[in-house]
Amino acid sequence: MFARNVTFHVKPNQLKEVASKFEKEILPILRKANGFRDQITMSRNSDETVGISLWNNKAELDAYTRDTDPQVVKLLEPFITGTPDVRTYEVSASTSHKYVLAA
């Protein structure tokens, strides 16, 4: 399993709009993507948002990043400043997904 961590900064007074956009438009896109498992979205200080998505494998995550993510970024552009910081990780354990790296 792989995780994609995206951090971005929200324009002043736009946090509720970002949350609504995420719920109504972005989550449905993610749910249709091959290999998508889960999404966790967190905010702090009213301007920083972090999204962590979990994927079955790196190939499916790479396909999403290449083919679909530009569409998602375009949906968020009116509400964010700068460029999102994206990092990819291989998951070594997840209690919520009963996933343990094979020894």
Does the pLDDT value for residue 102 go beyond 70? no
What pLDDT was estimated at residue 95?
77
Q: In the prediction, which pLDDT does 51 show? A: 94
Q: Does domain 2-92 have CATH number 3.40.50.720?
A: no
Average pLDDT value for residue range 71-88? 94
Express each pLDDT in 56-72 by its tens digit. 999 999 999 999 999 99
Maximum Cα interatomic distance, the chain, rounded to a whole number of Å: 47
Residue 98 CB contacts under 8 Å (≥ 6 apart), including other chains: none
Lowest mean pLDDT among 8-22, 29-43, 84-98: 84-98
